[in-house]
Structure 1
Amino acid sequence: MEENTISRKLRTDFAVPEDSDDSDLDDSDADPDYLPSTSGQQRQALRSTSGNVLSDNSDSSDVSSDESTPVGATTAKIAQSSLHWEKVSQENSEKQSPSCNLREVYSEVESPVYYFRMFFDEDVLDNIMEQSNLFSVQKNPNRPLNVDTNEIEVFMGSCIFMSVFGLPRSRMFWANNTRVETVANVMPRDRWEFIKSCVHFNDNTKLPSRNDPNCDRLFKVRPLVDEMQKKFKNLPLRQMLCVDEQIIPYKGKSALKQYNPKKPHKWGYKEFILSDSNGLVHNLEMYTGSIAPVEGIPDIGPSGNIVLRLLENVPRHEGYLLYCDNWFSSLKLFSVLAEIGIGVLGTIRVNRFPGLQFQTDKEMKKEGEEYLTKLPQK
């Protein structure tokens, strides 16, 4: 793999304009002058499993299996102590995998509509229908929408098809020269545009004031987001999980719109995703300007908090493994994950691991692909 390809895949840089909402994503333990390099020092993976608990060299009792010890109790110790690192021999980290056979859960491959309705069931469609009809009356009492769930489903299906087909303007699907029968034959153009102008998921009359410190910035789509999260969390988990961010491209006006010049789509909505080795999403969190810590666990910074929030429904001490890139990796996060029994493997930023000295690229190549650096277990 070429050096540039490796750099694009493994590095995450959040250097954005000062007026961007993305500027508060940096952890308090990160070096603001840090500039990722393409050397092997930035690509070195640090690994932690539930059997190899990250600990402080000064006190062997920092991490304990005692259930009375609160989760995250070692993070304060890490911040206050000088750490000692040493090389250890590679170990067999194979663990019993959680049972998850998707072929047993879903014995037959169903139609695409079946899987669509797994997420957009009658309850979801009923809510969209009610809120859309309500908004149309609030907007113009003399012109109600009067849409039903069947028409909502057709509208959503046409939107999905249009996004894949890729014409630059929606009206081209009905135009004589560019007419697409799959869309044009199921719904008239004016009706489609009227539904599009009225689609709503929540009651605007209950919208909280923007000056309210507890204002939900996702209020207008909150019912849909909550329902999707429930559906994602009900999917069977595989052993290998991954957290990462994703940009939903959007260049319109929105206070939630983010800018990141390092991404293929520089403008859009940011969301954090927990997925598995099958590519299935198991949890998501839309970024709204701040990332609160998980209740009962100390604040370990935005990048660590979001990982713990996404993992809230993952069973503990059952052999699950998490993969992440260097924006999420930190010694505090790895310590907490070790305590709750979730293994983690990720690329790292050196400034988040105090006292750790890396070898040069040439020296690491001599060690081979199985080279491992971790804290000694006391």
Structure 2
Amino acid sequence: MKDIEEVDTSCNAVFSDPPGDELTPLQYFRTMCSDDIIQKLVDQCNLYCTQKTSASLDTNVREIEKYIRINTLAGVVKMLSYRIYWAEATIFSPIADPMPRNRFDKLRNYLHVNDNTKMKQREDPDYDKLFRERPFVEKIKQGFSIIEPEEYHSVDELIMPFKGHSSLKHYVKSKPQKWGINVFARAGDSEIVYDFEIYRGKGTVHNDTGLGISGDIVIRLVEGLPKYKNFKVFTDNRFTSYNLISALKNAFWLLELLDPQDCNLKADSELKKQA
């Protein structure tokens, strides 16, 4: 019960004006998932099917686009099993009409991103746990990087829900979604993700700065920020250390490091009541 203190809202950073024409959801998606990504999926699906069955899958760009559309829509209209969308009693036309279920099954079985024959062995120093997904992940990152960053950023970890079989799957007791793939991300105040790294143990970050995995992740994710603008980056106590702050001050002379004591945050007990 006290008067609201005056908050300094001044900003000396120079950012571009908002775009004149607002992108449609499809246009925005295609900036992230470009034509070359779709073509890569087409080529690798046909190659993988040929390697496994000695016959091409004979898919094309149009069919892969339909496949992505079906999976996106299934994430909105959820059912217990994907086969229910085609079942006679529960048929869902927006998904069932564009593609027969058997064809969807076949695409699902042979969906591939990279050539398995070029994958290095585990004993190789250049072995990459994300080899099968690497071209897709890197292209998505490139799509994220073309978005002009805003003023406020946060580096944190998140869990991508996943219950399948993968060495990348982790169980994190403290997270709302406990089973999944651990991802470190840099996001803006608008909740847009600008950059990310999938945690894969040793080799998650190639450049060892001597700050430990947490410090290396922060350095890696903020290095994509242009140095001529004044950005404010937030991290929690898991990532923050004196050595990290020193490294950031040396590398990013316009980066403003915010002391948590300067932030008017609600107490944990109050936040739990709102959850």
TM-score w.r.t. length of structure 1: 0.64
Identity of aligned residues (%): 30
Q: Deviations over 1:160-186 (max 9, x none)?
A: 100111101000000112111110011
Task: Select the residue among 209, 214, 225 that pairs with 1:303.
Answer: 214
SS across alignment from 1:196:
helix
Would the aligned equivalents of 2:114 and 2:135 in 1 still touch at CA under 8 Å? Answer: yes
Distance in 1, Cα, partners of 2:134 & 2:32? 15
Distance in 2, Cα, partners of 1:294 & 1:328? 18
Please state if 1:249 is matched with 2:161: yes
Please state if 1:326 is matched with 2:237: yes
Distance in 1, Cα, partners of 2:110 & 2:118? 17
Would the aligned equivalents of 1:98 and 1:238 in 2 still touch at CA under 8 Å? Answer: no
Distance in 2, Cα, partners of 1:245 & 1:258? 13
Structure number with higher relative contact order (C-alpha < 8 Å, ≥ 6 residues apart): 1
Query: Where does the alignment leave 5 or more consecutive residues of structure 1 unmatched?
Result: 1-90, 348-363, 371-378
TM-fit CA distance, 1:317 = 5.3
SS across alignment from 2:218:
helix
Please state if 1:336 is matched with 2:252: no
Task: Select the residue among 220, 235, 250 that pairs with 2:132.
Answer: 220
What is the aligned partner in structure 1 of residue 15 from structure 2? 99
Distance in 2, Cα, partners of 1:217 & 1:152? 25
What is the aligned partner in structure 1 of residue 84 from structure 2? 172
Moved more, 258-267 or 317-326: 317-326
Would the aligned equivalents of 2:198 and 2:204 in 1 still touch at CA under 8 Å? Answer: no
Task: Select the residue among 148, 154, 160 that pairs with 2:60.
Answer: 148
SS across alignment from 2:258:
strand
Amino acid at match of 1:310: L
Amino acid at match of 1:110: L
TM-fit CA distance, 1:305 = 0.6
Bigger Cα Rg: 1
What is the aligned partner in structure 2 of residue 112 from structure 1? 25
TM-score w.r.t. length of structure 2: 0.87
Distance in 1, Cα, partners of 2:248 & 2:37? 34
SS across alignment from 1:128:
helix
Amino acid at match of 1:279: E
CA RMSD of aligned residues (A): 2.3
What is the aligned partner in structure 2 of residue 267 from structure 1? 179
Distance in 2, Cα, partners of 1:247 & 1:313? 22
- Give runs of aligned pairs for residues 155-166 of structure 1, distance below 5 A: 155-166=67-78
Number of residues paired by the alignment?
257
TM-aligned CA distance change 1:314 to 1:148, over 3 Å: same
SS across alignment from 2:133:
helix
Amino acid at match of 2:12: Q
Would the aligned equivalents of 2:157 and 2:182 in 1 still touch at CA under 8 Å? Answer: yes
Distance in 2, Cα, partners of 1:368 & 1:314? 23
Amino acid at match of 2:42: M
Please list every run of at least 4 consecutive aligned residues from structure 1 whose deviation after the TM superposition is greater than 3 angstroms. Answer: 91-95, 291-295, 367-370
Please state if 1:191 is matched with 2:103: yes
Would the aligned equivalents of 1:329 and 1:346 in 2 still touch at CA under 8 Å? Answer: no
